[in-house]
Amino acid sequence: MDYNKKKTLQDIQVANKKVLVRVDFNVPLSNGKITDDNRIQASLPTIKYLVQQQAKVVLFSHLGRIKSEDDKKTKSLAPVALRLEKLLGQKVNFIAQTRGEELENAIENMKNGEIVLIENTRFEDVKNNEVVKYESKNNPELGKYWASLGEVFVNDAFGTSHRAHASNVGISTYIPVSAIGFLVEQELKMLAKGIDNPERPFVAILGGAKVSDKIGVIDNLLTKVDKILIGGGMAYTFFAAQGHKIGKSLLEADKVEDAKRYLEMAHGKIILPIDSANSTTFSNEKATFSGPDLPDDVMGLDIGPKTIELFKQQLVGAKTVVWNGPMGVSEFSHFAHGTKAVAQAIVDLKGAFTLIGGGDSAAAAIELGFKDSFSWISTGGGASLEYMEGKVLPGIDAIQTKN
């Protein structure tokens, strides 16, 4: 899918206009306090630009999942409005509604350069304690209503672009002008550079728990990469496909045939671990190590030291590296070595374009102190994954193309 032709902020007029912006403020909250504001920070360039251009900026975002009226009590965007005010150094008018007179009046009375943040878009998923999913199922009436509040729509929420919701696809369908924001533009540029036009040798590293989560990615990347290194829980299904004993490790029995098929198709492109860091229970006990055959009483929770060396060798000379998914249970210190070592090996490559495709590997890399060491760390877990699978992203597909 070629997204280069989508309108960007530079292609549209925004001065004096009511500009509806879909941002990704889906931040982690603990007791009403924001514990990580990375996503808010990522949206600042677009918001500041619109303010400077004298637009009236109306922000839409979801926060968490809303399945009952009770969920609404802990999932308000009110704390986000306060944090955004601090980061921008200007007033953000928070409206604790997703529709209605108060919201309409607030937008009607805006002056150029002012900002309104509306309540969590997913509050529309529950009405009178009934789950209706107006937002997440892209209810046309809701999309039309939201679109009627503005004149221009900007999608700057990459993290939800793989979903067709009322607040992205819905609004873009019913508004006269739409474009992508700076964050989405940058995400698409970097993903295209890493996946569609890679400098070779091109190495992909895939981890995470399940083969089933990565089947689309393996299908799409096998034809493009020079090598795929596989770690994480999904490696044990590949071990089983090779006839190894995997003890109590995670196994997707219904995916063993797929794993065999991939190994045949790959003609040596797939590099699997050669040893494993194991534990008798799913806990942070001290690791024991074994070759690709594991004793019956243990489960593999990380790649072992020989695999770390093997993966380092396989990365030597790589010019493009795309990484998605940790190598082990990286939240346990005894089983974070693989993820840490792979991150370090990627960072140490000279002159390579290095990309982390969102999700757990992005969180792990940031946690391990590598936030600024990669060429690009994607903000969108599911959206990056679907891009890697070669799927169309509806939230971006719905945006107008340049004339």
390 is catalytic: no
6 near 396, Cβ under 8 Å? yes
Task: Give binding residues for substrate as ranges.
Answer: 24-26, 39, 62-65, 122, 163
Q: What is the mean pLDDT of residues 39-58?
A: 97
The whole-number pLDDT of residue 1 equals 66
Please tell me what DSSP assigns to residue 97.
-
Closest CA to 103 of 64, 58, 143, 67: 58
- What count of other Cβ atoms lies within 10 Å of the Cβ of residue 357? 28
Looking at per-residue pLDDT, the higher value among 26 and 3 belongs to 26
Alpha-carbon span 400 to 396, nearest angstrom: 9
Give all domains of the chain, ordered by start, each with its CATH number: 9-182 (3.40.50.1260), 189-388 (3.40.50.1260)
359 is catalytic: yes
382 is catalytic: yes
Q: What DSSP line would sit under 157-184, residue for residue?
A: -GGGTTS--IIIIIHHHHSSEEEE-HHH
The two tokens of residue 39 are 């996503």
The whole-number pLDDT of residue 374 equals 93
The band of 365, judged by pLDDT with boundaries at 50, 70 and 90, is confident
Task: Give binding residues as ranges.
Answer: 24-26, 39, 62-65, 122, 163, 214, 300, 331, 358-361
Q: Write out pLDDT tens, residues 154-198.
A: 999 999 999 999 999 999 999 999 999 999 999 999 999 999 999
Task: Give binding residues for (2R)-3-phosphoglycerate as ranges.
Answer: 39, 122, 163
Q: What is the mean pLDDT of residues 100-105?
A: 98
210 is catalytic: yes
Q: Write out pLDDT tens, residues 7-20.
A: 999 999 999 999 99
- Mean pLDDT rounded to a whole number for the chain: 94
Alpha-carbon span 90 to 95, nearest angstrom: 16
Q: Write out pLDDT tens, residues 293-350.
A: 999 999 999 999 999 999 999 999 999 999 999 999 989 999 999 999 999 999 999 9
The band of 93, judged by pLDDT with boundaries at 50, 70 and 90, is very high
Q: Residue 296: which residues within 8 A CB-CB, separation 6 or more?
A: 245, 247, 248
The whole-number pLDDT of residue 368 equals 81
Catalytic residue among 7, 18, 48, 382: 382
Please say whether the dihedral angle defined by the alpha carbons of residues 385, 389, 390 and 394, taken in this order, is positive or negative.
Answer: negative
For the entire predicted model, the pTM comes to 0.89
Q: Residue 195: which residues within 8 A CB-CB, separation 6 or more?
A: 221, 224, 322, 355, 387, 388
The whole-number pLDDT of residue 248 equals 96
Catalytic residue among 6, 17, 22, 39: 39
- What count of other Cβ atoms lies within 10 Å of the Cβ of residue 5? 10
Catalytic residue among 210, 260, 269, 306: 210
Alpha-carbon span 302 to 400, nearest angstrom: 45
